[in-house]
Structure 1
Amino acid sequence: MEPIIAGRDLRKAWGSTIVLEHADFTIHAGEKVALVGPNGAGKSTLFRLIAGETQLDLGDLVMKEGLRYGYLPQVPNVPPETVVRDVLSAQSPEAQRIEAELAEVEAWMAQPDAWDSTDATARMARYETLHAALGTAVSRSDVTNDPILNDLGVSEELLDQRFDSLSGGEKSKVLTARALANAKEKDVLLLDEPTNHMDVDTIETIEEFLLEIDAALLLASHDKFLLDAVAQKVLEVDHLRILEYDGNYTDYRVQRDALARAREAQRNRHLKEMKRQLAIIEEFKARKVYEQVLSRKLRVEKMQRETPEAGPTEARAFRLAFKAGGSGHGVVRLEGIAKSHGGRLLFSDVDFELGKGDKVGLVGPNGAGKTTLLEILIGQQEADAGSVHRSRSLNVGYFAQEAEELDFSRTLLEEVMSIRKPPPPEGWARGLLGRFWFRGDSVYGKVGNLSGGERARLALAKFIALEYDLLVLDEPTNHLDIESQEIVGAALKGYPGIVLVVSHNRSFLNEVCNKIAVIAHQRLAVFQGTFRDSWAAAKMAEFMAVKTKPKYRVFRVVKDWETGTSYRGGDTITLTGAETQAFLRLLRWAEAAGRVERLES
């Protein structure tokens, strides 16, 4: 079967930096493919090449004629002043491609001798076919009423806002909706980090969606659970090439590790034999057997040319260990906590306790108040009701979301030296930065010029320099690749103190936590066990699910994109039991966003 996308001997460089060299890959119809590699390896470059956003330097990128695709870039490719409605109704890549081909045919038609060519009739037939196809493609381009907007929680009034006024999560939802809409009519989806800024419920919705569609998929993600659930094949960008592995992400890691061991053993045997041959040459020289010296030299030169290929690149690890304080049995206890924001109740009657040995993951929909609860717990915000008890000797460390505590105007060296008064010696600060791959003159660079992943590493470097009894972390794995996430997870798992972490990364929560706390329906409940155990438990399902036929009071407009029905302030929504899963997801999102309030029956 012919592939729908095939790259052969690809070469691409950005300036003097080569990203791909002699790279080959294929994607077949219906194939679900994970694209992996460390940050900066060239994954986004490959997406941009396929989507036509940049051009190859050398090689061939062959795609099925008339390929229909949806594309989600990692970095939004939308002019900031664009209205969201226009983003969702803009011409699809398919329509743009057809228009470009039509323009080529029309340019041919304008030539005086066009009708003298032998393929004139075929070209005109193609022109008519393209015109018909363009009409269909344009009609499918407008996704402002697609049911996927229900699943992702895109509100109606969002459509009239400028794209640059949206939060990171809202931008992700809009662009993901644009990429996933009309998936049944597409050949392939190109998704570069579709789970960025998404909560667990939305990530699982995307996962279910990708499992159900027939279209092929090229997916880059830092969510191991998603890659394991969806992928049938893995493409790894490594050593400027693209390597192929069968199976999902876990299968890939097993195969990759086996390949690394085999290549290392092969290279060691080769090196050992070269050393043996060189020793023999020296022996023949001493005995003045020069014919044998020449023969052996030729053999060594051949061996040098035939050095076995290097194994997969080792992950760029950094050394991470969190230091525990000396208070030992510190406790934090919340009793009857309630908090509202902007006139909307986030949660009430929250009772929650953290003690020795607890490693708790806090999850819930975006907007449910997870960060607010963390800040109440550590004393950065006041609760509207209830009390907070913290042991006097408890030393709390707080890792803010998106490394917000960093001063972008400082150099890296200044930022690390600011953690202690008086400042530590420069040599100590350089040593700490070096553990996180900030070396040489890079320590004099500005914090504001770092990438998201580099800022996360710098924030972690500062965080481990002090001793804490309780670690409170808000999305500590944002912008980190999977190998770096695993390093953070292992360090937290081995930390002897108390941990409370907010994360939407399911595999990370599963590796670190022994309890899961969930905010939903303005309440908080705690469940024992790993994330996988807790999320699957019947009591968790009961807590998260919409109760039997409840009613909802509407405060702000909620539109059901599936039916086109709008519910406005003052309306009441009564469930009948016949609602679709998409509508129930819409209600969960609307409740978390304060648009509706569930009425107890």
Structure 2
Amino acid sequence: MYISTDDIEEEIRNGIPGTEEIVVQYVAGYLMDLDDAAEDEDVIGVARTILDSACPSTSRNTRETQLDNVIKKLAELLKDSLDKREEEKNRSGKTNGLVRLDKVMDLSKTAISTTIGLGEGVDLESVNKGKASRVDVKKLEKQEAKLRAKIEKRARRDLYEGSKLLDQYKKQQTYEEMFMKINPLDAAAASKNKSKDIHLPSIDVSFASNRILSGASLTLAHGRRYGLIGRNGVGKSTLLRHIALREVPIPAHITILFVEQEIVGDDTTALESVLKADVWRDTLMREEAHLNAQLAELDKENDEKRFEDAREEAQTRLAEVHARLADMEAESGPARAAALLAGLGFSELDQGRPTKSFSGGWRMRLALARALFVKPTLLLLDEPSNHIDLNALAWLEDYLQTWPGTLLVVSHDRAFLDAVATDIVHMHSARLDYYKGNFTQFYSTKTERDRNLRKEYDTQMEYRKHLQAFIDRWRYNANRAAQAQSKIKILEKLPEIQPPEEDEIETFKFPETEKISPPVLQLNEVSFGYTPDKILLKGINIDVGLDSRIAVIGPNGAGKSTLIKLLIGDLKPMAGHVTQNGRLRIGYFAQHHVDNLIPNMTPVQFLASKFPGKTEQEYRSHLGNFQISGMTGLQLIGTLSGGQKSRVAFAVLSLQRPHILLLDEPTNHLDIEGLDALMTALSTWNGGVIVISHDERFITTVAHELWVCADGSVTKFKGDVQAYKSLIVSNIKAKP
């Protein structure tokens, strides 16, 4: 009987509910790969030890019962594999110590196997007290420790150091604690007379067993804005985290802030949340209030001499606090915070709302506003454009162009990097390469450099070939031997040139669609609101054909995603009607497409569940059309990167053989190569396309029409994306 990893995982989940998924997957992988275990290893005992340590049951009896039942079922499932393994050991003259006893044995005269897996809380000395056994308790305990160490080492290797990451999560500090630890109060003051440049000539960065950087040079000049680019999975975000936690030795006087996760929502208002982001300002403001209250109480006392020392001490400290607050321009805080929030799309009413009332995307904007408010010496941003609309992006680009400190930003948005970056850092092959200028300049410089390297390499290889041909022809000829020997010396002295790295070119492929007669897809005087008293869209008219290339832009919350859902039929209009061709097939890429993928399935299994009837090789071949190749198609979706998950989602869309593609923020997780592949595929495809996107280059390349969704309407914009962004920035600056 064929047993899969899924069968084992299902038995564990059913038998011990609540077991952490990382443990379930590890035990299943361990039992399925018995060849990796030592010959004398009691694999069932090891599995029990791991499950025992992770069993969520608090009652010992319940835990033992669950473990017994699960281990029994696992032994039955793996009976054939275990029997085969036992036979191979017996043939080789080795056993695992599990021997059937045909007669009573005196333990005092019998060697005890050292592969026994002990559960927690076993007192070896009390168990053997008064018995004839001569078991070396110390030795057995030492062997058990080795076994546990081996289990933990394999778990770390195979599961991306899951236990280590779990420990880090449990030890996670609050934002305030981390801020004060990473950025001491005296850091800003100390930086006044020190260089704010960063130059680390050789750094190593690793994650689990992966070496991300090896002997790389990290050089960041103060006041420069660096765009960090590289392929999905190369380790850009990991590098930012290492810098943020000072695991890379950044000078202590340089303040750092990293925007990575959305803030946790509570009853704090949006404006208060931004003000509290500067922890030292908030701390000093509270201390100032406390000292003022203390002095007011002391002033009420009549015994001047008795309280003179306390009053003098409080006044001295208050003067110090005032000086600190003046240095950090604390008084302008509320006005600066409100301006930042307004630029990122928060109305005056929104700024007074509690943070818990905002969605994840808006909380990410809050996190961004908090970082900009703090004004650290080194600001680290990870894909900031993924979480904001085109309006907020236009403001952010304009704002960052005058950023006074050093900026290191990870982004795949070429237009954003062109607008913001003064330098590009290319992360690849465990090193960092630096280029002056924005992304367009980087691309031009790199292309020219790669061309010259290729030319130099080809020239030398041709010269080597010429020398070798001469040597091979004449080295044994008496008349030409001296010349041949001379050529050999020249060849030996030639410097070794490594072949230049070839850029991996990605391609996406959507199947050609058959023609269908118009009208293909129309909205006629459509109005919609989630409640009758609040109409979101009113009187919308739009006609989509197979030749349509439409980009829908506008602020978040204006109704762009609602428009898409009306087109696909997920929402019904309150007025007007939607017309669809009866043969129409629509492919919809949702903004949160990850929610539609099943994390404990592989891409091949997921495609098979959606479109059954093909062979595994056919599914893998189809995934290859979207660069999910090799073993990646057999990995669990939950372990894939955001870009790889997007590629799986596009592979699913492709199998639907759509006539129209409706794409809601399709560029968020794709790297630059993936974006190029998607743009090329859409430009050459013969179906209709509607996209919601904030990526200027993507919109410009793919779309022929620009429609703005705002103030309850959807209207055609006469101009390009740059003109729209300029209009947005000028309107924001014009507001009082």
Category of TM-score, reference length = shorter chain: 0.7 to 0.9
Quick check: 1:281–1:293 contact (8 Å CA) kept in 2?
A: yes
Partner of 1:19: 212
Secondary structure of 1:398 counterpart: strand
Displacement of 1:332 = 1.7
* Equivalent residue in structure 1 for 2:660, among 461, 470, 482: 470
What are the residue-to-residue correspondences of 1:109-128 with 2, within 5 Å? Answer: none
Question: 1-side partners of 2:582 and 2:397: how far apart?
Answer: 44
The structure that is helix-richer by fraction is 2
- Structure 1 residues 281, 13: CA separation in 2 closer, same or farther (over 3 Å shift)? farther
- The letter for the 2-side match of 1:37 is G
CA distance in 1, matches of 2:344, 2:206: 36
- 2:447 counterpart (223, 248, 257): 257
Cα distance 1:329–1:264, how it changes in 2: closer, same or farther (>3 A)? farther
Indicate how the Cα distance of structure 1 residues 93 and 27 shifts in structure 2: closer, same or farther if over 3 A, else same. Answer: farther
Distance 1:223 1:160, change over 3 A: same
From 169, 179, 184, the equivalent of 2:361 is: 169
Matched, 1:67 2:254: yes
2:560 to 370, 381, 389: 370
- Show the counterpart of 2:163: none
Alignment of 1:514-593 (within 5 A): 514-527=704-717, 530-532=720-722, 581=734
Query: What's the offset of the Cα at 1:83?
Result: 6.1
Does the 8 A contact of 1:88 with 1:142 survive in 2? no
Instruction: Give the alignment partner of residue 496 of structure 2, picking from 285, 297, 307.
Output: 307
- Larger RCO: Structure 1 or Structure 2 (Cα < 8 Å, ≥ 6 residues apart)? 1
Deviation at 1:494, TM superposition (A): 1.5
Q: Name whichever structure is richer in strand by fraction.
A: 1
Secondary structure of the structure 2 residue equivalent to 1:487: helix
Residue 215 in 1 paired to residue 405 in 2? yes
Q: 1:328: Cα distance to partner? A: 5.6
Query: Structure 1's 323 and 143: CA in aligned 2 closer, same or farther, altered over 3 A?
Result: farther
Please say which of residues 492-501 and 29-38 is displaced more in the overlay: 29-38
Matches within 5 A, 1:461-500: 461-500=651-690
Distance 1:90 1:416, change over 3 A: same
Deviation at 1:197, TM superposition (A): 1.5
Query: Deviation at 1:530?
Result: 4.5
CA shift for structure 1 position 362: 0.8
**Maintained 8 Å contact 2:212/2:234:** yes
Structure 1 residues 40-51: aligned runs within 5 Å: 40-51=233-244
| 1:162-561 alignment runs, 5 A limit | 166-181=358-373, 183=375, 186-284=376-474, 286-287=476-477, 300=491, 302-303=493-494, 306-311=495-500, 314-315=503-504, 317-327=506-516, 329-342=518-531, 344-403=534-593, 404-420=595-611, 422-527=612-717, 530-532=720-722
3-state SS of paired residue (2:386)? coil
Distance 1:238 1:133 in 2: 46
Structure 1 residue 294 displacement after superposition: 7.3
CA contact (8 A) 2:382 2:411 kept: yes
Per-residue CA deviations over 1:206-245 (Å, capped at 9, x if unaligned) read 1111123433322222222221122222221122222121
Task: Give TM-score, length-normalised by structure 2.
Answer: 0.61
The alpha-carbon deviation at position 407 of structure 1 amounts to 3.0
1:184-212 CA distance string (max 9 Å, x none): xx544332222122011000111111123
Q: Distance in 1 between matches of 2:359 and 2:474?
A: 74
1:373-429: CA deviations, max 9, x gaps? 111112121011111112223332222222243233422111122343x52122211
Read off the aligned partner of 2:259 and give its amino acid letter.
Answer: P
Unaligned runs of 5+ in 2: 1-193, 285-318
Give the counterpart letter for 1:210 in structure 2: L
Residues 295 and 45 of structure 1: is their aligned pair in 2 closer, same or farther, counting only changes over 3 Å? farther
| Residue pair 1:331, 1:354 contacting (<8 A) in 2 also | yes
The 8 Å contact of residues 235 and 243 in structure 1, kept in 2 or not, is answered as yes
TM-superposed deviation, 1:80: 8.0
**What's the TM-score once normalised by structure 1's chain length?**
0.73
Structure 1 44/411 Cα, relative in aligned 2: closer, same or farther at 3 Å?
closer
AA partner of residue 66 (structure 1): H
Aligned to 2:59: none
The separation in 2 between residues aligned to 1:334 and 1:73, in whole angstroms, is: 40
Q: Secondary structure at the match of 2:535?
A: strand
Q: Is the 8 A contact 1:333 1:390 kept in 2?
A: yes
The whole-number CA distance in structure 1 between the counterparts of 2:712 and 2:730 is 13
In structure 1, what residue type is equivalent to 2:440? T
Task: Report the Cα offset of residue 291 of structure 1.
Answer: 8.0
CA contact (8 A) 2:524 2:576 kept: yes
Larger CA Rg, structure 1 vs 2: 2
CA contact (8 A) 1:89 1:142 kept: no
Partner SS for 2:563: helix
SS of equivalent residue, structure 2 residue 558: coil
What is the CA RMSD across the aligned residues, in angstroms? Answer: 3.8
Whether the 8 Å CA contact 2:379–2:408 is kept in 1: the answer is yes
Contact 1:10 1:20 in 2 (8 A): yes
Mapped to 2, the partners of 1:22 and 1:275 lie a distance apart of 34
Question: Aligned to 1:345, what secondary structure does the other structure show?
Answer: coil
Pairing 1:36–2:229 present: yes
Q: Taking structure 1 as reference, are residues 172 and 501 closer, same or farther at Cα in structure 2, changes over 3 Å only?
A: same
> 1: CA distance between counterparts of 2:422 and 2:561?
36
* Amino acid in structure 2 at the alignment position of 1:23: A
- The equivalent of 1:150 in structure 2 is 342
Q: Is the contact made by 1:317 and 1:483 (CA closer than 8 Å) also made in structure 2?
A: yes
Q: Which amino acid in the other structure matches residue 513 of structure 1?
A: A
SS of 1:336's equivalent in the other structure is: strand
Q: Contact 1:349 / 1:523 at 8 angstroms: preserved in 2?
A: yes
Tell me, in whole angstroms, the C-alpha distance in 2 between the residues paired with 1:388 and 1:49: 52
Q: Which amino acid aligns with 2:254?
A: L
- Paired with 2:535 and 2:622, the residues of 1 have a C-alpha distance of 43
Residue 396 of structure 1 aligns to which amino acid in structure 2?
A: I
Q: What is the distance in 1 between the residues matched to 2:444 and 2:664?
A: 31
Quick one: structure 1 residues 142 and 462, their matched pair in 2 at CA, closer, same or farther if it must change by over 3 Å?
A: farther
Q: Aligned-pair distance for 1:526?
A: 1.5
Alignment: residue pair count: 503
User: Does the CA-based 8 Å contact 1:331-1:390 persist in structure 2?
Assistant: yes
CA distance in structure 1 between the partners assigned to 2:224 and 2:616 by the alignment: 53
The CA distance in 2 between the partners of 1:301 and 1:11, in whole Å, is 34
The answer to whether the 8 Å contact 1:72/1:190 transfers is: yes
Q: Identify the range of structure 1 (151-160 vs 23-32) with the bigger mean alpha-carbon deviation.
A: 151-160
Q: Deviations over 1:525-581 (max 9, x none)?
A: 013564346666xxxx59x998xxxxxxxxxxxxxxxxxxxxxxxxxxxxxxxx964
Separation in structure 1 between the aligned mates of residue 576 and residue 360 of structure 2, nearest angstrom: 32
Counterpart code for 1:482: I
State the 1:144 CA deviation: 6.8
Residue 9 (structure 1) aligned to one of 183, 202, 223: 202
Report the residue type matching 2:200 in the other structure: G
Residues 373-382 or 86-95, more deviating: 86-95
Per-residue deviation, 1:508: 0.8
Q: 1 CA distance for matches of 2:485 and 2:330?
A: 72
Give the Cα separation in 2 of the matches to 1:300 and 1:136: 70
Partner amino acid, structure 2, of 1:433: L
Cα distance in structure 2, aligned partners of 1:415 and 1:405: 10
The AA in structure 2 aligned to 1:4 is: D
**Equivalent pairs: percent with the same residue?**
27
Task: Provide structure 1 residue ranges, at least 5 long, that are not aligned to the other structure.
Answer: 99-128, 547-578, 584-601
Offset at 1:511? 0.9
Q: Which amino acid aligns with 1:174?
A: L
The one-letter code sitting in structure 2 at the alignment partner of 1:525 is T
- Report the alpha carbon displacement of residue 287 of structure 1 after superposing the two structures with TM: 4.3
Give the corresponding residue for 1:556: none
